Amino acid sequence: MSRKWERMVQKNKEKINKQREKHGQAPVAGGDGEMTVRGRSWLLPLALALAGLLFAVTLPPAAGSDSLYQITIILYFVLALFHFLVRRPYLKIGKSQLSWRTYTGEKTLTASEIGTIRMTTGDVVIEGKDGKTRRTFSRRMHLYPMDRLTDAVRQFAAKHQINLQEDSGARVKAD
Categorize the per-residue pLDDT at 170 as very low, low, confident or very high, splitting at 50, 70 and 90: very low
**In whole angstroms, what is the distance from residue 172 CA to residue 175 CA?**
9
**Given a cut of 80, is residue 1 above it in pLDDT?**
no
In a domain? residue 9: no
Read off the pTM.
0.71
The dihedral through the CA atoms of 37, 18, 85, 52 has a sign that is: positive
From 85, 114, 143, the end of a domain falls on 85
Q: For residue range 17-48, what is the model confidence (pLDDT) as tens digits?
A: 888 878 877 777 655 568 899 999 999 999 99
Query: Which of 85, 118, 142 marks a domain boundary?
Result: 85
Top pLDDT among 65 and 134 is at 134
Tell me how far the alpha carbon of residue 41 is from its chain's centroid: 10
How large is the C-alpha radius of gyration of the chain? 22
* Strand ranges across the sheet with 97-102: 35-38, 90-93, 97-102, 105-110
Banded pLDDT at 115 (limits 50, 70, 90): very high
pLDDT (0 to 100) of residue 64: 61
Task: Indicate the residue among 29, 58, 85 that finishes a domain.
Answer: 85
- Higher-pLDDT residue of 174, 90: 90
Per-residue model confidence (pLDDT) at position 162: 92
